[in-house]
Amino acid sequence: MLVAGNWKMNTDRTSAVQLARDVVGAVGDVTGVQVAVCPPAVSLDAVFEVLHGSSVRLGAQNMHYEDHGAFTGEISAGMLRSVGCHYVILGHSERRQYFGETDVSVNKKVKKAREYKLVPILCVGETLAQRDAGEENAVVQTQVEKGLAGVEIRDPGEVVLAYEPVWAIGTGRTATPAQAQAMHAFIRGLLINMYGEKVGFAMQILYGGSVKPGNAADLFAQPDVDGGLIGGASLNAADFGAIVEAAVAAS
Q: Candidates 61-69, 125-133, 141-149, 162-170 — which segment interacts with ligand PGA by CB under 6 A? A: 162-170
Binding flag, residue 224, ligand PGA (CB under 6 A):
no
Of positions 28, 91, 165, 209, contacts ligand PGA by CB under 6 A: 209
Q: Candidates 49-57, 68-76, 191-199, 205-213 — which segment interacts with ligand PGA by CB under 6 A? A: 205-213
Binding flag, residue 232, ligand PGA (CB under 6 A):
yes
3-state helix, strand, coil in the chain (%, to 5): 50, 15, 35
- C-beta of 41 vs 192, nearer to ligand PGA: 41
Q: Measured between alpha carbons, how far is 172 from 79 in angstroms, rounded to an integer?
A: 34
Task: Confirm whether 94 is a catalytic residue.
Answer: no
Q: Measured between alpha carbons, how far is 94 from 31 in angstroms, rounded to an integer?
A: 31
Which residue from 16, 124, 121, 13 is spatially nearest to 63, judged by alpha carbons? 121
Phi, psi values for residue 217, rounded to 5°: -60, -45
Residues 24 to 83: which contact ligand PGA by CB under 6 A?
Answer: none
Rounded to 5 degrees, what angle do the CA atoms 29, 34, 35 make? Answer: 75
Helix (H) or strand (E) holding 23: helix 13-27
- C-beta of 19 vs 199, nearer to ligand PGA: 19
Orientation angle between helical segments 213-220 and 237-250, nearest 10 degrees: 20
> Catalytic residue among 92, 101, 158, 184, which?
92
- β-bridge partners, 122: 90, 161
Binding flag, residue 169, ligand PGA (CB under 6 A):
yes
CA atoms within 13 A on the CB side of 180: 30
Task: Confirm whether 164 is a catalytic residue.
Answer: yes
Residues near ligand PGA (CB under 6 A), total:
13
Binding flag, residue 170, ligand PGA (CB under 6 A):
yes
Of positions 208, 215, 224, 245, contacts ligand PGA by CB under 6 A: 208
Q: Distance from first CA to last CA of the chain, Å, rounded?
A: 7
Phi, psi values for residue 118, rounded to 5°: -85, 150
- C-beta of 28 vs 232, nearer to ligand PGA: 232
Of positions 38, 229, 247, 250, contacts ligand PGA by CB under 6 A: 229
- C-beta of 90 vs 233, nearer to ligand PGA: 233
Binding flag, residue 230, ligand PGA (CB under 6 A):
yes
List interacting residues with ligand PGA (CB under 6 A): 6, 164, 169-170, 208-211, 229-233
State the catalytic residues: 92, 164
